[in-house]
Amino acid sequence: MSRDIDHYQRFIDRLLVEELGIERYFTYIVTKVVKNAGDAPPQWADESS
């Protein structure tokens, strides 16, 4: 995760300059909350099979 898009882009630019063998990269931006950090897993997730 990055603080913002500018921070992310500067990070990617540094990786590309270092010539680590990265030929291409993809960026996906989430524009809404996907999961709240405080959400507990469903009760069935704790059951043993």
**7 lies in a domain?**
yes
Q: Measuring CA to CA, which residue among 7, 29, 9 is closest to residue 17?
A: 9
**45 lies in a domain?**
no
Tens of pLDDT, residue by residue over 13-48, are 998 899 899 888 898 888 887 777 666 666 666 655
**36 lies in a domain?**
no
Residue-level pLDDT at 49: 44
Residue-level pLDDT at 23: 86
**1 lies in a domain?**
yes
Model confidence at 10, in pLDDT bands (50, 70, 90)?
very high
Could you give the CA distance from residue 14 to residue 3 in angstroms, rounded to a whole number?
16
> How many domains does the structure of the chain reveal?
1
Judge if pTM exceeds 0.85. no
Q: Environment class of residue 12 by beta-carbon count within 10 Å: exposed (0-12), middle (13-18) or buried (19+)?
A: middle
Q: The domain containing residue 8 runs over which residues?
A: 1-31
